[in-house]
Structure 1
């Protein structure tokens, strides 16, 4: 007699930042799940770094916020410049306490913290090295086939959640479209030893030749993000050093670097996000511009909403179709609002015909009472309601 596949309420495909966070949320409310991840270890590299107050508040509800705040850099101020002329400062200290800051922490470290916390709750929940090959569903369940430890295996689940990134295999299995477009904007970035006087503050330079962003990182490092005229496939150290020197007369000649990369910008939304027993969250469901650092946080907001929906379905006996439809509708609104805010961030950093007019607008944004609203916008407050 063949052995029956194990059964879970949820099977999560992908153990990135969103999949791990969703696993913690489900453990918190007693919903059984397994996480299938093809990578053997947490992905190396810095990538996303900004953790917004909205996410820290969710972490606090799970009793894990301190693990992040003790290791990250609390950014309470962002300085704005026109070339090298200072336009003003936006302070996040006027935002709601206790998380009146943006936390800077490399994504590799973020995922390690989430993984450690999840393993404390359930050391058997993550199967690393599990490569999913197919997903089928019927009215009663979903069946996930995957290769793990040299064998082809299966699990049965009430629902399957795709947290497997922009090129989601789960999304392809459910035949969901990924609609949107690419922006003309391109950037290079690198993490260097910090030789500035900004300390734990961020800085934005609206230069005639294109935007420069500068963010503090742990261990006396600083990330530089620089707008380019065209995509640079394999950026080198000189690509960053030369542009910093030419645009803001800042030299990184003696600073060592730990990462160099380039990226273009897209906005993409999956339709549908929910297909019967298969659901998408995180980059599987949406891709937004990384300028403003909202993408990973948007994924966490979606995962939290989805966990709440399943709490109502499994623990309170409410109707699945209605709850999941509400989740999809609400999170689609949040995603669209997030995209609009990301577009605002990009527009501010583009070349303009009349920079003096742009600078007057930015100065007004940095002064009260408008600055309080801008601080909320840049920390993702009201993202499920405010369209701006």
Structure 2
């Protein structure tokens, strides 16, 4: 028996667990993976999420391990189109932090273990959930044995293919986009320092972000979904930007197509969906993981109030309205990000570059765009 069962021990579930444990709420985190996925794609942590992570006691450690990106640059045809500074977006965290998700999860897991060494259960798969209106019962399979966990509330933070969402029969509204990407991490030649760089080229956008450990991530838009070798990706970057990468230095390769999805409901009785279980947005712009943390930040005080015997139904309805609205804003921003990166030729490419350069040159507009890009 526990106060709150959190299904999913990724960054969002672990974050919520840390917040609740700090307040004396009993938590059990059920994670079906036996170890963290080291081939994770998410790297960007925006200022509002860093402020939320500070409340869980991990933000400073994350900043110490990551690379603060304080400026973005955009190029086209070898010429600088514009720059964007993040210095004005936050007093405490005037940057976007670049840190691989596996490192972020490691910090959050240590924080949870410091608060309660027994809170995280790995290799635990939820196979059923029942709600009698007073308490939940979760059927859990672990180590070949089946057990039952009783809890007052449950939170599904188990990702885009959420088992809990499926068990509850909550449908999703999905949207697919004609956008496909390949990406990889390579040795950083140090050309761009710690800046994020966008190359707005006829064949489609190329994005580049610094990573810890002397690495840099490269993301290239392609016309059709396909896998690519390190040599293929290096060739695409060379063709569009003129920059040569050492294919032998690649430490990660991935390809993905883009879709968005929104669960019809984030609240079902005593169960709440957060993060990708509730809303999936395009990874272009790096908002998804951050959106999940902000879900957790908003949900934690509601759960604490419920544990103290306070009313919860109205607060959960308000939570759902606000977080669905936030997900809609994030989805629209990701759609703008993808649109700006699609292939353009001739006058249309020049017009887009002129518009972006004009916005970048007007400081109030530049700051407003920087705030929007960083989820302010």
Cα distance in structure 2, aligned partners of 1:215 and 1:130: 35
Counterpart selection for 2:85 from 86, 91, 115: 91
Provide the residue aligned with 1:319 in structure 2: 311
- Cα distance in 1 for partners of 2:48, 2:364 equals 22
2:365 alignment counterpart: 370
Aligned to 2:251: 258
SS state of the match for residue 79, structure 1?
A: strand
CA distance in 2, matches of 1:184, 1:196: 33
Asked if the contact 2:136/2:150 (under 8 Å) is kept, the reply is: yes
Residues 261-301 of structure 1, C-alpha deviations (whole Å, 9 max, x = no match): 10011110001110101211111111001000000000000
> Where does residue 117 of structure 1 map in the other structure?
111
Q: TM-score, normalised by structure 1?
A: 0.94
List aligned pairs for 1:269-288, cutoff 5 A: 269-288=262-281
Mapped to 2, the partners of 1:63 and 1:157 lie a distance apart of: 26
Residues 163, 280 of structure 1: 8 Å contact kept:
yes
1:139 and 2:133 matched: yes
Aligned-partner SS, 1:199: coil
Q: Distance in 1 between matches of 2:367 and 2:83?
A: 12
Secondary structure of 1:58's match?
Answer: helix
1:12 matched to 2:31: no
- Matches of 2:268 and 2:137, distance apart in 1: 14
Structure 1 ranges of 4+ moved more than 3 A: none
Q: Secondary structure at the match of 2:104?
A: helix
- Cα distance in 1, alignment partners of residues 271 and 88 from structure 2: 41
Work out whether 1:302 is the aligned partner of 2:295.
yes
Matches of 1:349 and 1:303 in 2, distance apart?
31
Superposition TM-score, scaled by structure 2 size:
0.97
State the shift of 1:220 in Å.
Answer: 0.5
Query: Which residue of the partner structure matches residue 384 of structure 1?
Result: none
**Structure 2 residue ranges without an equivalent (≥5):** none
SS of the residue 1:206 aligns to: strand
Is 1:313–1:323's contact at 8 Å kept on the other side of the alignment? no
Equivalent residue number for residue 4 of structure 1: none
What's the CA shift for 1:352?
A: 3.0
Q: Which residue of 2 aligns with 1:339?
A: 331
Take 2:291 and 2:247, find their aligned partners in 1: how far apart are those partners?
Answer: 37
Q: 1: CA distance between counterparts of 2:170 and 2:228?
A: 34
Residues 100-153 of structure 1: per-residue CA shift (max 9 Å, x gap): 000000001010010001100110000111111111111111111111233211
Q: Which residue of structure 2 aligns with residue 241 of structure 1?
A: 234
> Which deviations, in whole Å up to 9, do the C-alpha atoms of 1:172-193 show, x marking residues without a partner?
0110011021101000000000
Count residues with an aligned counterpart: 373
- State the partner residue of 2:199: 205
1:152 to 146, 163, 167: 146
Work out whether residues 203 and 215 of structure 1, in 8 Å CA contact, stay in contact via their aligned partners in 2: yes
Once the two structures are TM-superposed, the CA of residue 254 in structure 1 deviates from its matched residue by: 5.8
Q: Which residue is 1:185 aligned to?
A: 179
Q: 1:224 aligns with which of 218, 241, 249?
A: 218
1:70 is paired with a residue whose SS is helix
Separation in 2, partners of 1:200, 1:149? 45
SS of 1:369 mapped into structure 2: helix
Any idea what SS the aligned residue of 2:301 has? Answer: helix
1:171 pairs with 156, 165, 181, which one? 165
In structure 2, what is the Cα distance between the partners aligned to 1:97 and 1:15? 31
Distance between the aligned counterparts of 1:358 and 1:255, measured in 2?
A: 35
1:81-115 deviation line (CA, Å, top 9, x unaligned): 12321112101112222200000000010100100
Distance in 2 separating the partners of 1:84 and 1:137? 60
8 A Cα contact 1:195 1:255, kept in partner: no
SS at 2:251 equivalent: strand
Q: Distance in 2 between matches of 1:62 and 1:8?
A: 20
